[in-house]
Structures are given as structure tokens and as C-alpha cells.
Amino acid sequence: MADKLLFDRIDEPGLDTIEVYKRRGGYQQLERALRMTPEEVLQNLLDSGLRGRGGAGFAMGKKVSFLPRGGMDKYLVCNADESEPGTFKDRELMQKSPHMLIEGMVIAAYAAGANRSFIYIRGEYELQAMKLEAALIEAREAGYLGEDILGSGHSQTLYLHRGAGAYICGEETGLLDSLEGKRGNPRLKPPFPANQGLYQGPTLINNVETLATVPHIIRMSGTEYAKLGVENSAGTKLISISGNVQRPGNYEIELGMKARDIIYGLAGGPEPGREIKFWFPGGSSSPVLKPEDLDRGYDFDSMARAGSMLGSGAIIVVDDSNSVVDVALTLAKFYRHESCGKCTPCREGTNWTVKMLERIHAGDATPMDLDIIASVQDQIMGNCLCVLGDAMAMPLSSMVAKFRDEFEQYIEDKRAAAGLGEIPEPTPIEIAGAAA
Amino acid sequence: MAEQSSAVARYGHGSRIPGWDDSVDLSKDPAVVPDPATTPVPDELRAQIEAAMAKYPNFRSAAIPALHAAQDLHGWCSPTAIEQAACVMRLTPGYLTAVATFYDMFETKPVGRQRVYVCTNISCSLRGGKEMLEAVKAAAGDDPDLNVRGFECLGACDIAPMASVNGEFVGPLEPADAEQLIADLKEGREVLPDKQLSRRACADPGARSDG
Amino acid sequence: MPRPEERFVTFSIDGREVSAPAGVMLADGAKYGDIEIPVFCYEPKLGAPVGACRMCLVEVEGIPKLQTACSTPVKDGMVVHTQTQRVREAQNSVVEFLLVNHPLDCPVCDKGGECPLQDITFGWGRGISRMVEPKRHFRKPVELSPLIAIDRERCILCYRCVRFSQEVSEDYQLILNERGASSFVGTFDGHPYVAPFSGNIVELCPVGALTSRAYRFRARPWDIEGSGSVCTHCPAQCNVEFTVRDERVLRVLARDNHGVDDGWLCDKGRFAYQAIHSDERITEPLVRNPDSGELEPATWEYALDVAASAIEQAGSSVAAIAGGTTTNEEGFLLQRLVRAVGSADLDSRAGLPPVPAETQRALAAPALQATIPDIEFAHTVLLLGTDPIDDVASLDLRIRKGVRRNGVKLAVATSRPSALDANSRLWLRYAPGAEHAFVAALAAAVGGADGVEALCEKADADPKAVAALAQLLQDGGEDVVIVWGQRIGAAPLPSLLNLAAALRLGERAGAGLIEVPVGGNARGLREVGVQSNAGPGLKDAKAGKSAHEIAQQAADGKLTTLYLLHADPVRDYADRRLWERALQGAEAVVAHATLLSDALRATATVVFPAESYAEKEGTIVNLDGRVQRLRPAIGRPGSVRAEWQVLADVAKRAGHDPQVLTGPIVTQQVVAAVPFYGGLTLEEIGGKGVRWQERDAASAAPEAPAGPFEAGEPLAAPRPNGALRLGTYRSIWAAPEVEVSPALKFLTAKQQAEISPVDADRIGVDNGGRVTVSAGDVSVLASVFVRGNVPAGTVFLAEATAEQSATELLGGEPGLVEVRPA
């Protein structure tokens, strides 16, 4: 495994101060980048093959290249609204090495030609906001932010913006609306933020980890960075492991590492005597995988081939002491709570799904309800304004599909407990006009 | 209209949502942008909001910072708090209400000033988060100074089950910690110092090598 | 700002080749191929699409995901499918989701039968429900305002109403609270949603969630008929559709006309229809009994004879005044009669001073006339001495739209703080009554002339602000539209014309002037000759007396007969006491009225029952010269007769038979008498009206004199010296039709003294306290309204309120008043 990049001696005391950060070579990559042309910096980003670390995995260099050239006001926004259940990597990074993010942001903004930048941090991260606020003051005083940075002619403002508790603000357009002082409703795309984002100006939006990786790309050069990891999944990745493992926490791995080595090797696997029932490979929005998928490589393509996704790199392990129905209900309730309410399928679909799962929980359901649940998830997928609806529908579909037997057993047991007796013979619902 | 229908049985089932049954009060005036001439705003709050407005190309971006400031001052986003923020920002109170009700951290009903958010999302619930919430609620009792809430994922699943106590993340918690947590809070002590996330080292052994 | 040019593109939809204007959204473009795509949240009037309801998902070849037709512009060569299995599944799904919590209470729902949700469920739904969970139930309906009830169970959260409040009327009172499935439409802290355009949300709502409290349960869609006409309550002349059941108007809806109202109505236009059916309506002729001295019901024959003989006997000492709701036809017949008996004492200017015919002709030059849609596309719009929200309501929305969507630079120059200040690039204030000095200063600043400072001093306007405004007008782009209020009076008009010439407004199609008159059809009445110094077509005519002179003469007992056609000068015109004496002093007062004012009850000799605007036939002229047609929607109540006929009958009995047998004959006479209407027919006017400037006959417009115009020497605004300057305005809610409409009664304007915090402190009064405002021995009572943006040294009062009207204080020159705690 390669040396740590982002987590290199992350616990070193005082790393959150500019003094220690600089002593360790901090801001040298910024100086180097500012001596290059923006096009050269962009080329390094393109060469690196770095894919966004927030969840969607879009190539970062390409995203930068989408911004129109020209003298208009352009913006860089760092998405630090880390809210995907199971994800907590950006938190550790911002808290312990805030200057790495700032350095990455100035370099990225230089490549994109953006002069105004913001970090949108979730409101609950109060300690991290304080650390960043302090680091921003230091960076401004040191001349790494402001007018004519290091004599390069590049000027940049960078402000921290605290959110106030809404998962949907992690969706990039919801984040933009929130940053503009509105309810954090996602916007219709197109137009995409690269053309019309914050205040209608071209906007680059990247995750904390993505931006913090940028100084390392400059240090190594894009082509060298690209040698880390596996095809289509270059570099190292911070992963957050949680749930039923013995050593939950953040780990930096080289992409392509076997999932089993992460879950059992790094995180110690489930408590002795317990087996993994299923696991979310990329946050609670990713379709669940079963133990037989553990020998796959942990990278974008392998997870996609397994029918799931790498997402934010958050692995949640569920062992056999838990009921899949309980997890499904917790999950569905979360998405109902976080749906912004703007579009119909998400707002009503999450709400309806919760009601059905609650009925299963209460012992007043039949297996036919599982078909309706599955059908409702299908009706949500692909029909929503943003991906939040899909974020519930995908894992929920996978749970119902992969654990149908357990759901049915649960329904039967609950009915018995509720004294409702045998399940009646189902009467198929006839749908007028629908194909048989 | 009010009295008769609340007694009707059919309203007893289905989900209840605060606000949906509410009529407006016709004796009130429409809520337009508050006139500075008739809306007093504490100087410090005004200064905080104006400083926030200056940070952004469009002053409306300061809506969330303004509500944070107003909530800090008033304890919750009370109508007065919102009117004051709206007056400084030259917006209608409605604008800020729409924003305030969207976000979980803004309280639109009076609550205690001491915040305890207990995570009940997946990773925490797999390790007893929901039981933890019950334990903390029980320990808190009906102390009006405490605001104990279940919360969605707070981004600290490595210390599951966890809670955010006035912004300080603590965990992994056990039900037995609940009493101590509440006691620390009531006494004004640091809350569960051994369990504070801010003091925790990175889990990755590689990251610690020469730290 | 150039308007987008219309270009057509061709695309394929469900196998049909369809041609539609480039840039329109697929949801609209499909209609060009007779294909309907269902929508809920999409409403182009509300601005950019939001794609929230997901009802309009369609398949576009080459794009893997289904696309929302509301937000996908049509493109050449696009191939669209709206009928595939995939699209149908998506549509079925959205309908099913919408019905998850929508109650199926259609049988008792006011929207039933005209409900888009019903229609779309029928057309695009699956027809069954798989949802067995209990639906949510809430108390319903609850009040959202005195005008609107809200039924939150039925709301499908399409966002239309909140978008209207936030992005069209910009009052930002109506909001979405909470999030997700808990989201609901409401207001801040239980305040009612009361704003001048609130009623539009009822019409926008695609389900029965927002209903008009005035219309609820009054009719079912199969009971009613729609009838198109035009609202005459203000000069905006918005196009309306009356909902009629059993000869009663039960509702007013917008009848979208981009050239006039852009599809919106104010709440007065929407709810004041109730005045039509008021119990106080006069429905038969009234004649004063010489014995008892009381007004008593009379036969038509008798009433017509009394009126005719009053005119015949008075001869040249007849004077007539027409109010704003008078049609061209009625006004034309009136002026013909008055001129026939040898008088020229005619007025329709709401008591404002007359404008020399030369000036009028210069202002009426077609090249100088901006259109209402020009406001939306101009580079710069200057509001001069008018606040649209009070003077011409729907124009307020048009200006906001231009600023918001097209980046129009708005400048506001008024004495009273304007509702549009917040939207403007710059606003400035001058002293009330100092319009002449202000416009002269502005014209001088634009023309580079000397004396700007001195004129600013006279107007008490900030010279820097005037310079900035001059610069904005000159450098902000060529298309400048100046929207000016008739209330600024006659004296500033030569300077206004000089300003227009300096800005070359006559040379560009998108630039020009728009006058906001006082009174619904004021422009038409002047064009057909209801004024003392010009005849039909603004031609020279024998000079007569203006309203104010008429009043003085009548008060002095020198006027024999006063004819008041829909005019209530005692309430509406300056110097109330003079008018009271005038009505008492006239030997005979003949009036047409729908409601009996106190003044008429005390002094009228004959009162003819007037038609309401829903009963009238005729034409009126909009701000920008658009001739529009009023069409009767209901029968006339009681023995009310067509007023053109009443006027013709009076004239005939007075020996001047106008030879008219039908309404359209009068229209023909009007057209024949006004050269620039030449050849206009009712058919040509049609449902949308026609601007006379755009017809060939416009070349027959009177020749406009060339400038420059002699600006005259403006008076200086009085220095307060401890007193306060009095400024007045006319609230949209200060009108009898508001007072007698039960739904609107709560909005009735009450007298408020708007003063600055400084003056409130000095006088020692608090917000809401009572004060007496007096000028000499006259005073009115008002409650104090402390406003941070009122200039110190000035107090503003409302005119034409039912009681304590500021017109009491407007006896002489604009002056100073004393304000004291009452």
C-alpha cells in the first residue's frame, strides 16, 4: 500500500495550525501551482484521474474543464455537508488538517478561474467549523487568500458558511439554494452548476476530500497520482467504516483493495460469533451487498459490477443479530425526514414506504405489501428531481429483493404475534390498462 | 370551526403534522417587511447579521447565519427573533420562517437552551442508538432547560452510538452514560470528557505512524 | 433591450411533425401538434419552470432518463414520445403518488368539475389505488385570509401559490413551512395572507386547496357560464371573465391578455364584483319630490322629462362631468349634448387642472406612446409621480416582472415612498406638489441646461440623485419608458415633453411615455371630447370651464344644471367643501350612479340608475391607446336601462336627437368623430382590443406641435418651518365598490397619517395613535402610521376615503398642515 496522503500523520499535534502545516511542507504546492498556468494545473487534475469523493464519482478535472472561460464571476464551493449516513471522513480531515483543504481550494479555484469561494459545512460540525474559521484567518494573514495571492495575480475570497441541518443540502444544487439563503431545495438540471450555479454564475462544486487531494496531485504530478489505485479508480480514498465492526473509523486505502481486507483486516470484522448479514458499500444510499461480495475490489467499477456503488466510501456493516426489516424502516424514515418535499415521487414515495414498513412492523401486512413496496421503489427511481428519492429506493429495493424470505418470515411472525393468524390467499390486483 | 372539528373521531388517525390544522389569525396585520422605525433590534444582533450580509455577493445568503444569530440570542426562532432578523435583512418574516422551518437545527417552538442531539440513524441504531435516546430522555426528565432530540446521522458513526451535546460529539455511549451526561450538563461541567470525539485519535494505524 | 424574435423549429412528437416557436417548452410546444402533456406545477406566467410535480415526464430520444416537458425547450429535429409504456408508467406513478394523501372528497369539493387533478387522474392515472394506509386528515378548510380558505389535505404541493407570492407579486408572505411530506403552505406566525394580488393564488391552484371564500359553494361548473369583458375599476383595464349563474356574477377570473394585464388581477378587480349585486344598488330612476324635498322612485318617462327640461332650460349654463367608468359612447353622447346646448363646460379629469390642447396633442403623438409590454423590455423605466399599486394595480406586477426577468433598470421619482422602491436602481423624493420643479430639474439635467441646482432646491430634491437619475436615463440604454401619473398635474407637462425629446423617446419603438390617469377610461373620455378645451379627436373646440371652475361657478349660484355621469366629485375631487357647496348651489343636478352617495341624496334632482360594468356595452381606451370592448355578461337589474340610451333619450327630449337606435350605432358615431379611430369596428376590437396607434388611421392623429415647450417658472415647495407638508395619494382600497363588497370590506382604506419617526417624536405620538391634521380651519382625524422611509417634514394622507378624506384639506395650493395629537 502506498504511503498515506490525506491521513499522513494526521494526529500530529498542532497540524490544524498554519505553523505546523507549513513546517510539514504545507502551502508549497500552492506556490508551485501558482507558478504554473491554470491550464497546466487543470491538465494535472485531468491526468490524475481523480474522481469526486462525495458520492457521484464524477471526474474532477473534467468538472473543472466544464466551467466556461472568461471574465465573469465564477465560484468554487466546497461541499462539506457530509450527511450521508455512515460517512464521517471529511469531518476528521477538516478538524485535523483544515489547511490542506484550504490549500486545495485555492489551487482548484486557480485552475477554474474562480475568485470567490465558499465552504458549505453542515451545521452540526461545530468543532470543525471553528477549526476552519481559525485556519481561514491564518491563511488570510499569511497571504494565501485575498488579493494577488503570492504575487500570482490570482485573487480569491474564501468564506465558511454553516448549514443548519438538512441532508438534502449535500445535493449540489440544494446546497447552492441553501447557500443563497433559501430553503435547500434541489434545482432542475440543466442548467448545470458549471454554467449557472451560485448566484447564476459558473460554479465548481467539490467534496472536501476531493479538494484536499489536489495539493497531493500537484506534488506528485497528475500522471504519478494516476498510478495509485486501479483502472478508473485512481488514487487513495478515505473510507468510513461503521456499524457492526470491532474497529469502526476512518481509514485511507488505495482504491481496489479487497472489501474483505477492509472490513475484516482494518476494521476487525463483526464481534466474535457474529456473521455479516449484509453491508452498504457506499453509504446508506447504496444498494446492499451480501457476504459473497466481500472478495470484490473496493473501487468504482467493481462496486458497480456488484450492482451497487462506491458512493462516499462509507461502509456500514450489519451483522446477523439485526433484522433487515428494522434496518429498512430506519432507513426509510431517514429519507422521509430528509426529503425536501419539492418533487412528488420522493415526497410521497418515501412517506408511503414508511407507512407500509410500519404496518409490516405492526404485524398488519401480507407478502403482497412487499410487492407494492418494491413497485413503489421502481416508481420513484429515475422519476425524481434529484437523487434523494433514488437514494432510498435503491437500497430498499435491494433489501426486499435479497432478503425477501426474511421479510416474509417477519410478516408471518408478526401476524402470529398480533393474533391475525394465517395469511389469506392473495387476490391479485388488476391494473386497468397495464401490461399483464 | 375550531372546537367542533377537533372532537371528530376521524381526525384521530393518520399522521399528525404541527401547523396543518392551523388557521391564520384574522385580527393580525399581514406580515410585511418590518419597518425599522417600529421594530427595535438589539445592537449586537444587528451587527452580527450585517457582518454576515457583507460576506456574500447577495445579502440573502445571510439568512442561515442570521437565524443562527437570532436563535442564539433568543433561545429559539421565536416570532420576535425572526422579525428582528427580517428587519435587518429587509426581508419579510415569512421568508425567514420558510428557511427556518426547513432546517433541523432551527427551533420553531420554545425549547431548552442545552442541546442534546442523540443520533438514531443506521450506524448508531445498530449499536443501540435508539435505546440511548430513551435513556437520555429519561435522565433529562422534564427539565425545561434541556432540549433532548433524536437526530439523523451526525457524521460520527465511528463513535456510535453517539450524541452531540451543545455541539460537542461524545461516544461511544452506553445507557449507563446517560445519567452522567445529563449531570455534567446540569452542573456546567465538561460533558463525558473521556468520550469526546475531539480527543480521539484516527482509527487508521497507518496514519498514526509517527504522529 | 431587444425582444426575443420568434423563430419556428420543427420536431417530432408521437410521430407527428410539429412546428413550434423556438425556445418554448415542450409542454407548450406539444400543443402545436394537438398533443396534451399533463402538468401541475408548470405555469409559464410564474417564471422559469421548477420541474417539481414530475407529471410531465416524456421520453426524448437520445436522452436516457425521462425528461420533464415543462423544462425542456423544443429543438429542431427533436424526437419526443408521450405515449410509450415507460412514459405511461411514470405518469401513472405520479398520479398515484399525488393521490396518496389527496382526499377523494370530490363530491363536496368546490373545485370538482373544473379540477386539473380530476382531469389528469382520469386521463393519465391508473384508475385504481394500492394505498391502504389511512389518509391524513386535518381540520378543513381553515382561513388563510378573509378572502381565501385553505384545505391542506387537498394540497398537492405544486408550489404555484408560493411562487406567485414570492416571484410574481413579490410580497413574500405566503411560504412553504417545514420539509418533505410535512411541508405545508402557510404564513409567518399565523398572520393572514393579505396582499393586493392575493386572489390570484385561488385561480392558480390546480386542486381545491385554495378557494375563494366569496365563491365557495355558490355554484358548480355546470351551473355557470363564462363571459368575457374588461374591468373598469382602474385604468389598468384588466381583461376579465365573469362567472355567471342565473344572471348574477359570482366570480371574476383573469382573461390573459399580454398586451394589458399579463394574466393577473388585483383583489379589487377579483372581488369587487360583489358591488354589482349590492342591496344598495339603485335600480330605478329617482326624482326629487318638490313637495317633500326627498328623492323618490319615479317612472322613466318622468325622470327623463325632468332631466331633459333641466338641460333645455339651462342652455349654455349646463355643465357636465364624467367619471372614470364612463364608456367612450356615453362620454361622446354627453359631450355632444352639452355642446349642442351651447356649453363647453365639460370635464373628465377627476378635478385635476386642464391641459392645453396643444400639450395634449403633443403627448398623444403615436411615436411617443410606449406600450404596456414595452415596460417589460425597456432598458430603463422611470416611474414619475405614480405608485402603480394604488393607481393602476396590475402594472405593478408588470414592472416587477421586467426588473426580475429582464433586468429592466427601474427608477422611482415620487414624493411618497413607493412600493417599488425596493426593486429600483435608484429612487428619489421630491416635495409633494413640487412636480413641476422636479420635472423641470430633471429635464434640465438631461438636456445639460443650467439652473438644475435651483430647480432641485425648489423641488426639495437631492441634486446628486437628480444627476444620477439623469445619467441613468441617458446612459442606461436607449429604450426608456417613462410612466407618469396624471396626478402630477398640468404644469410639469411641457418639461416632460422636453425631457422626452432630449431622451429621443419618440424615435424608438420600444421607448416612450405612458400616462397613468385617474379613472378607468380617462384616456378614452378625453379622446372622445369630454373636456373643456378639446373636442372629439383632440380637435380644437370652443373653450369651456374645467371641473374646478364649474364647481366655483355652481357654488356661486351661477350654474343652472350640473350633469354628473358616474362622477362623485364630493368624494373624489380636491376641495370637498367647495364641491358640497357646488352641488347645493346648482339649480338642478342630474346624475347617473349605481350607489347613492350622501351628496346625491342631499342635492340630486334626478338620479338615473347606472349600469354596472358587467352589464355595459361599449368601448374604453387603455393607457397605451388600446381600444377595448365591454360586453354585457348579465342582464340589468330592476328597471335599469342602457345608459347610452338614457343619454340619447335625454338629448332627444331636450331637442337634440342624436339619432341612435343601438349601442353599436353610438360606437360608429364615435369612430366617425375621432379621426384616429377611423374605420374601427367592434369586430376588429374583438376580445383582445386593438391599439389605435397600430392601425393605418393613426396617421390621422392630430399633428403634434414641435418642441421645445415653454416650461414656465415652477413654484418652490413651501418650507415646513415646524408645520408639515401635506402629500396625498389615493389608495386602491378607497372606493365605494370596496365598501359595499362584503368580501373586501375589511380592506376599506382608513385615514392614516404617514409620518417619519423624527416627526412622530417631535409631535409626541406613537404608531397607531390618533392625530388631527389641519389646514386653516379644516381638519381631519387620522391614526398615526410611522414609516421609516417617509421624508421628515412631510405627512401623507389618503384621498377619497369614505370619511376624513384628505380632499377636505386640498382647498387651495399644495400647502402646509399642522399635525397634533388628537
Residue of B nearest to C136 (CA): B14
pLDDT in tens, C568-615: 999 999 999 999 999 999 999 999 999 999 999 999 999 999 999 999
Cβ within 8 Å, pair B204-A249 = yes
Contact C342, C364 (CB under 8 A): no
Say yes or no to pLDDT of C758 above 60.
yes
Q: What percentage of chain C reaches a pLDDT higher than 90?
A: 95
Tell me which of A79, A182, A238, A329 to substitute to probe the interface with B (most B C-beta atoms closer than 10 Å). A182
Cβ within 8 Å, pair C189-B19 = no
pLDDT in tens, C670-683: 999 999 999 999 99
Q: Hey, what amino acid is at A218?
A: I
pLDDT of residue A433: 52
Cβ within 8 Å, pair A330-B125 = yes
Interface contacts (A, C; CB < 8 Å): 105
pLDDT of residue C1: 56
Q: What is the mean pLDDT of residues C466-483?
A: 97
pLDDT band at C706, cuts 50/70/90? confident
Cβ neighbours, 10 Å, residue A363 = 17
Beta strands per DSSP E along C14-108: 16-21, 57-60, 67-68, 79-81
Say yes or no to pLDDT of C812 above 70.
no
Q: What is the mean pLDDT of residues C609-625?
A: 98
pLDDT band at C3, cuts 50/70/90? confident
Cβ within 8 Å, pair B155-A163 = no
Say yes or no to pLDDT of B15 above 80.
no
pLDDT band at A431, cuts 50/70/90? low
What CA–CA distance (Å, rounded) separates C581 from C554? 8
Residue of B nearest to C754 (CA): B37
Report the sign of the C-alpha dihedral through residues C355, C358, C359, C363, in that order.
Answer: positive
Say yes or no to pLDDT of B130 above 90.
yes
To the nearest whole angstrom, how far is the Cα of A310 from the nearest Cα of chain C? 22
pLDDT band at C42, cuts 50/70/90? very high
Contacts (Cβ under 8 Å, ≥6 apart) of A211: A78, A101, A104, A105, A108
Q: How far is CA A258 from CA A1, A88, A261, A303, C815, in A?
A: 12, 21, 5, 11, 89
Q: Hey, what amino acid is at B86?
A: A
pLDDT of residue B18: 75
What CA–CA distance (Å, rounded) separates C69 from C27? 5
Residues of chain B in contact with residue C172, where contact means CB-CB under 8 angstroms, are 91-92, 94-95
pLDDT of residue B46: 98
Contact A117, A153 (CB under 8 A): no
pLDDT in tens, C304-314: 999 999 999 99
Under CATH, which architecture does the B30-108 domain have?
Answer: Orthogonal Bundle (1.10)
Q: Hey, what amino acid is at C709?
A: F
Taking CB atoms within 8 Å and a gap of at least 24, the contacts of B142-145 are B143/B112, B143/B182, B143/B186, B144/B112, B145/B112, B145/B113, B145/B114, B145/B186
What CA–CA distance (Å, rounded) separates C638 from C616? 15
pLDDT of residue B7: 36
Query: Per this entry, what is the length of chain C?
Result: 822
Retrieve residue C535's grid coordinates: 373636442
Contact C74, C29 (CB under 8 A): yes
Least confident residue range of B70-84, C130-144, C534-548: C130-144
To the nearest whole angstrom, how far is the Cα of C51 from the nearest Cα of chain B? 20
Say yes or no to pLDDT of A178 above 60.
yes
Q: What three-state secondary structure class fits C89?
A: helix
What CA–CA distance (Å, rounded) separates A159 from A136? 8
pLDDT in tens, C421-463: 999 999 999 999 999 999 999 999 999 999 999 999 999 999 9
- DSSP category for residue C108: G
Please provide the DSSP assignment of C403-455 as one string.
HHHH-PEEEEEESS--TTGGG-SEEEE--TT-HHHHHHHHHHHHHT-S-HHHH
To the nearest whole angstrom, how far is the Cα of A362 from the nearest Cα of chain C? 13
Domains recognised in chain C with CATH numbers: 8-83 (3.10.20.740), 286-352+521-686 (3.40.50.740), 357-516 (3.40.228.10), 724-821 (2.40.40.20)
Cβ neighbours, 10 Å, residue A436 = 4
Contacts (Cβ under 8 Å, ≥6 apart) of A345: A379, A380, A383, A384, A389, C54, C93, C94, C97
Taking CB atoms within 8 Å and a gap of at least 24, the contacts of A187-194 are A188/A385, A188/C49, A188/C50, A188/C51, A188/C68, A188/C71, A192/A66, A194/A63, A194/A66, A194/A67, A194/A68
What CA–CA distance (Å, rounded) separates C343 from C542? 9
Say yes or no to pLDDT of B8 above 90.
no
What CA–CA distance (Å, rounded) separates C167 from A328? 40
Say yes or no to pLDDT of C11 above 90.
yes
Say yes or no to pLDDT of A2 above 80.
no
Cis, peptide link before residue B172, omega less than 30° from 0: yes
- DSSP category for residue A33: H
Contact C152, C211 (CB under 8 A): no
Say yes or no to pLDDT of C773 above 60.
yes
Say yes or no to pLDDT of B148 above 60.
yes
Q: What is the mean pLDDT of residues C526-553?
A: 96
pLDDT in tens, B37-63: 999 999 999 999 999 999 999 999 999
pLDDT of residue B9: 37
pLDDT of residue A8: 95
Give which of A266, A248, A81 is closest to A162, Cα–Cα.
Answer: A81
Q: Hey, what amino acid is at C677?
A: Y
Please provide the DSSP assignment of C133-145 as one string.
SPPP----SEESS
What CA–CA distance (Å, rounded) separates A75 from A54? 18
Residues of chain B in contact with residue A330, where contact means CB-CB under 8 angstroms, are 120-122, 125
Q: What percentage of chain C reaches a pLDDT higher than 70?
A: 99
What CA–CA distance (Å, rounded) separates B87 from B40? 9
Give which of C691, C672, C670, C536 is closest to C628, Cα–Cα.
Answer: C691
Retrieve residue A31's grid coordinates: 506556490
Say yes or no to pLDDT of B6 above 50.
no
Cβ within 8 Å, pair A10-B202 = yes
First-to-last CA distance in chain A? 54
pLDDT of residue A432: 56
Cis, peptide link before residue C141, omega less than 30° from 0: yes
Q: Cell 428587519 identifies what position?
A: B87
Q: What is the mean pLDDT of residues C318-333?
A: 98
Tell me the pairing of strands B163-165 and B114-119: antiparallel
Of residues C137, C173, C186, nearest to B19 (C-beta): C186
Q: What is the mean pLDDT of residues C99-122?
A: 94
Q: What is the mean pLDDT of residues C368-384?
A: 97
pLDDT band at B158, cuts 50/70/90? very high
What CA–CA distance (Å, rounded) separates C234 from C261? 12
What CA–CA distance (Å, rounded) separates C165 from A15? 50
Whether the CB of B111 is below 8 Å from some CB of chain A: the reply is no
pLDDT of residue B151: 96
pLDDT band at C6, cuts 50/70/90? confident
What CA–CA distance (Å, rounded) separates B191 from B196? 8
Contact C51, C58 (CB under 8 A): no
Domains recognised in chain A with CATH numbers: 18-227 (3.40.50.11540), 230-319 (3.10.20.600), 324-417 (1.20.1440.230)
pLDDT of residue B5: 38
pLDDT band at B207, cuts 50/70/90? confident
**Residues 81-140 (B) with a CB less than 8 A from some CB of C:** 82, 90-95, 97-98, 101-102
What CA–CA distance (Å, rounded) separates A113 from A70? 8
Q: What percentage of chain A reaches a pLDDT higher than 70?
A: 96
Report the neighbours of B using a cutoff of 3 or more CB pairs below 8 angstroms: A, C
Question: Torsions phi, psi of C71, nearest 5?
Answer: -120, 5
Cβ neighbours, 10 Å, residue C293 = 8
pLDDT in tens, C377-402: 999 999 999 999 999 999 999 999 99
Q: What is the mean pLDDT of residues A157-173?
A: 97
Q: What percentage of chain B reaches a pLDDT higher than 70?
A: 91
pLDDT band at A419, cuts 50/70/90? confident
Say yes or no to pLDDT of C2 above 90.
no
pLDDT band at A430, cuts 50/70/90? low
pLDDT band at B209, cuts 50/70/90? low
Tell me which of C179, C182, C207 to substitute to probe the interface with A (most A C-beta atoms closer than 10 Å). C179
Please provide the DSSP assignment of A3-31 as one string.
PPSTTTTTT-TTTTSHHHHHHTTTTHHHH
Beta strands per DSSP E along C237-342: 239-245, 248-254, 286-288, 295-297, 318-322
Cβ within 8 Å, pair C101-A351 = yes
Tell me the pairing of strands A236-243 and C724-729: unpaired
Residue of C nearest to A352 (CA): C100
Question: Torsions phi, psi of C488, nearest 5?
Answer: -70, -10
pLDDT of residue B31: 97
Q: Does domain B114-197 have CATH number 3.40.640.10?
A: no
Residue of B nearest to A340 (CA): B102
Contacts (Cβ under 8 Å, ≥6 apart) of A436: none
Cβ within 8 Å, pair A348-C100 = yes
